[in-house]
Amino acid sequence: MSAHLVAVAQRQDREAFAALFRHFAPRLKSYLRRFGDSDARAEEVLQESFAAIWTKAGRFDPSRASASTWIYTIARNQRIDAFRRERRPQFDPNDPAFVPAHVPDGEGTVTSRERFQHVSEAMAELSEEQREVVRLSFFEDEPHEAIARRLGLPVGTVKSRIRLAYGHLRTRLASKSGGLL
């Protein structure tokens, strides 16, 4: 999928874009349905997200993120814009005031594909309960309250569960990546 995204960026490749759409559109639609109040609105934000994927493809850096991760961030930003009517402040790696990492890209770190694989494996190793709080924290606009309601738990418990699950994930990832991430 990363190659398709690069093809869109470099050649405005419509076939590659269609392949991305076929794979990601039904998944992003599910994601967006969780935040919007109607199917029509989710469909609209879905189309806005894909228009943004087309115009912003040049900013995709395959060494830093997998296609699904980058596409997730685009859809997330579009839904904040559309459903909450807020802007999404973001840093700009080309800004002269931006502080680049000391380690050059790809040197001494795992590739974005390996990292994605590690994250998937670490997620699969979480208990069902932990995976659910992590999942819900990405899929609810007010995750702590919503998760608390859904699971019938106090908000404080939800907060500490998210923390534990995230901490567990990081520890797992550190061991998989030999300390390098």
Partner 1 sequence: MTVKHHIGDDLILAYATGELDEATSLLVATHMALCPQCRQALELAEAIGGTLIEAEAEAEVADDALEAVFGRIESAEKPATPSPAATPAQRGSYVLPRPLRDYAGGDVDGLRWRGLGGGVRHLPIDTRASRAKARLLYIPAGSKVPDHGHRGLELTLVLAGAFYDEGAWFRRGDVEEADATIEHQPVAGPEEPCICLAVTDAPLRFRGLIPRLAQPFLGI
In the region spanning residues 86 to 125, those forming contacts with partner 1, defined by CB under 8 A, are 86-102, 115-116, 119-120, 123
Which 24-63 positions form the footprint of partner 1 (CB under 8 A)?
24-31, 33, 42-43, 46-48, 50-51, 54-56, 58-59
Residue 95 tokens, joined: 């800004």
- Nearest approach in angstroms of CB 52 to partner 1 is 10
Could you tell me if 75 and 36 are in contact, meaning their C-beta atoms sit under 8 angstroms apart?
Answer: no
In angstroms, what CA-CA distances link 125 with 13, 140, 179?
Answer: 38, 22, 18
Could you tell me if 63 and 105 are in contact, meaning their C-beta atoms sit under 8 angstroms apart?
Answer: yes
Q: Which of 45, 60, 133, 143 binds partner 1 (CB under 8 A)?
A: 143
In angstroms, what CA-CA distances link 93 with 76, 98, 128, 148, 154?
Answer: 19, 6, 37, 37, 40
- Nearest approach in angstroms of CB 151 to partner 1 is 16
- Nearest approach in angstroms of CB 10 to partner 1 is 13
Could you tell me if 156 and 166 are in contact, meaning their C-beta atoms sit under 8 angstroms apart?
Answer: no
Give the residue with the Cβ less far from partner 1, 6 or 65.
65
User: Contacts with partner 1: how many residues (CB under 8 A)?
Assistant: 83
- Nearest approach in angstroms of CB 6 to partner 1 is 15
Q: State whether the Cα torsion 116-120-24-91 is positive or negative.
A: negative
Residue 94 DSSP label: T
Residue 62 tokens, joined: 């395959």
Q: Which of 3, 141, 150, 164 binds partner 1 (CB under 8 A)?
A: 141
Give the residue with the Cβ less far from partner 1, 95 or 128.
95
Q: Which of 11, 149, 150, 163 binds partner 1 (CB under 8 A)?
A: 163
Residue 57 DSSP label: G
Contact call for residue 164 and partner 1 (CB under 8 A): no
Give the residue with the Cβ less far from partner 1, 153 or 166.
166
Q: Which of 36, 62, 77, 157 binds partner 1 (CB under 8 A)?
A: 77
